[in-house]
Amino acid sequence: MDPEYAAALTKAGLLGAGSTPPLPPSTAKEARAGFDIAVLKGYKAFLEPNLPPSNTYTVTDYPVSVEGGEISVRCLVPVADDQGVTFPVLVNIHGGGWTVGSVELDDYALRGYCVRQKISIVNFEYRLAPEYPFPTAVDDCHAALKWVVSNTSLLKADVKKGFLIGGESAGANLSAVLAHIVRDDPSFEGRRLTGQLLCEPNVCHYAAYPESLKSQFRSMDEFPDMPALTRATIERFYEWYNAPPSDPRFSPLLYPSHRELPRAYIQAMGLDALRDDALVYAEVLREAGVETKLDIYPGVGHGFQYGVPDIPAAAKVRADTEQAIGWLLDRKSSA
């Protein structure tokens, strides 16, 4: 285990003598309250001192109509001297087991990427389970993507300069699903996605692993009690999301073809129960002819970069993520 990570877990009482695996949340309300206290508040406070100057970007929230309701999208746009300049666009989908989280989770990190990488960013606020079970999150994100391509002028965006989608954990799951949906949706003809940014993705329910790949999925059994995402917590999130395990819109590994997907950058944490989802998916994409880069971070668990953002390994995840944006945009200096 990474020594700084081990020290942080020990200090929190999650590692060492007398520690026990954290219990899964009993209700979504409990999960959301715990997430806000344990993760969101501290993570934003850590990033806040390094936010770019407020006059270098704009922040605007827009309502987007979806079937049965409305969602919000937060748009970050670089400020440029030339009013006619346009930027590539990155769509971010937050993580949280389809149950917790919001646009606030990645907001501060995305503001930095927006300014330094000169890219417009759209951050989705999809409706959460269990109040809105599968496939609501998928449908909301699909609707929001359609909003993006119909409102590029608001974003000062040109999707031909780059149209990326990405997220962490459940956000990565939804990003992988939407990459397939957009590939096959004729309404996106001429404005397809050009890159995927998948951090710690969950790409297949363990009950639906393909026989040919089952032997490669070991991490769920190797790290069932690893903070902060135990197997029991994963199962609780699965229960609340209530998706059929074999539906490709939940298990994107099971789409019949991965050909002609946009290039992909994938991150995997070495002690994560979902580690092998990332490893297997990278291999499957490469076999389908998709240009794919994979980074593995040894000695750390799922989402550690949010819970302990001040350790060197977390800084490396953030730096690699930003460099990957350049690679996905085919900027030679980030190759």
Alpha-carbon distance of 40 to 104, in angstroms, equals: 8
- Exactly one of 2, 107, 140, 272 is catalytic; name it: 272
Q: Give the residue from 110, 112, 259, 125 showing the smallest Cα distance to 197.
A: 110
- State the Cα–Cα distance between residues 8 and 15, nearest whole angstrom: 9
Question: Which entry of 102, 120, 169, 219 is annotated as an active-site residue?
Answer: 169
CB 287 within 8 A of CB 321: no
Please state at what angle helix 170-184 crosses helix 136-150, rounded to 10 degrees: 60
Q: What is the pLDDT of residue 235?
A: 97
Segment 42-96, tens digit of pLDDT: 999 999 999 999 999 999 999 999 999 999 999 999 999 888 899 999 999 999 9
Q: Say if residues 137 and 160 touch (Cβ distance below 8 Å).
A: no
Helix-then-strand count for the chain, H and E: 12, 8
Query: pLDDT band for position 318 (50/70/90)?
Result: very high
Catalytic hit among 142, 180, 205, 302: 302
Q: Do you find a cis peptide bond into 38, omega within 30 degrees of 0?
A: no
- Least Cα distance to 78 among 117, 105, 125 occurs for 117
- When pLDDT is cut at 50, 70 and 90, the band that residue 333 belongs to is very low
Residue pointed to by tokens 């406070």: 45
- pLDDT on residue 20: 83
DSSP string for residues in 143-180: HHHHHHHH-HHHHTB-GGG-EEEEEETHHHHHHHHHHH
Please say if 302 is a catalytic residue: yes
State mean pLDDT over 200-216.
98
Average pLDDT over residues 286-298: 98
Q: What are phi and psi of 157, to 5 degrees?
A: -110, 150
pLDDT band at 335 (very low <50, low <70, confident <90, very high): very low
**Residue 272 annotated to the active site:** yes
Q: What is the pLDDT of residue 331?
A: 76
pLDDT at 170: 98
Mapped onto helix, strand or coil, the DSSP state of residue 99 is coil
Confidence grade of residue 18 (pLDDT, cut at 50, 70, 90): confident
**Rounded distance between C-alpha atoms, residue 61 and residue 186, angstroms:** 28
User: In the prediction, which pLDDT does 192 show?
Assistant: 97
Give, in order, the Cα–Cα distances in Å from 75 to each of 38, 91, 99, 124, 132. 26, 9, 22, 9, 24
Residue 120 is among the residues annotated as catalytic for this protein: no
Q: What is the pLDDT of residues 221-237, one digit of tens each?
A: 999 999 889 999 999 99
Per-domain residue ranges of the chain = 21-334
Instruction: Give residue 332's pLDDT.
Output: 58
Domain 21-334 has CATH 3.40.50.1820: yes
What pLDDT is stored for residue 277 in this prediction?
Answer: 98
Q: What percent of the chain stands above pLDDT 90?
A: 92
54-65 residue pLDDT tens = 999 999 999 999
Average pLDDT over residues 284-298: 98
Where do the DSSP E strands lie in 184-247?
195-199
Contacts (Cβ under 8 Å, ≥6 apart) of 11? none
